Structure 1
């Protein structure tokens, strides 16, 4: 019976849903992004954590934080992984 339950659970929940990672942002990153006056750009797609932004969206570096960048997209502040362009967090 236990094997059947485990097999059913494995089929119901894909590995990507089970193995999600949480990124811990330094407080300075959020503060810096919230203080910036960068103009917003329009993006037709949906802002989804983990999904990369297209090359057409300009991202901006964060001083002393090489693992994070930001953009202001559709009036929302977005923290990004600069290596992959993936959305890490939608701040606002």
Structure 2
């Protein structure tokens, strides 16, 4: 009987401590977040880019994150977000850093 009470008490303590830890974690993501190889772009930018009609430009090579889109491919500004531009290359919508012209996200 005593062993059963000890086990029940230990189980209750473990459950309570797990619940307390779970309640302490709050994640708020407002600004872009850099990970090892990608930048997570705020959702309003993706929505903006998906709503725009832009003709696709043929581009030599793979469309991958980190690739620099050279001139003469036109980049279009994202209204309200000066650190982002977009274009469509090889039928793929991409978000680009306007200073470096580097692809930071591909919208599938």
Q: TM-score range by the shorter chain?
A: 0.7 to 0.9
For normalisation by structure 2, the TM-score amounts to 0.64
Alignment match, 2:107: 91
Count residues with an aligned counterpart. 74
Alignment match, 2:92: 76
Q: Which runs of 4+ in 1 moved over 2 A?
A: 19-22
Alignment match, 2:65: 49
- Check if 1:62 corresponds to 2:78: yes
**Structure of greater relative contact order (alpha carbons < 8 Å, 6+ residues apart):** 1
Alignment gaps of 5+ in structure 1: 1-18
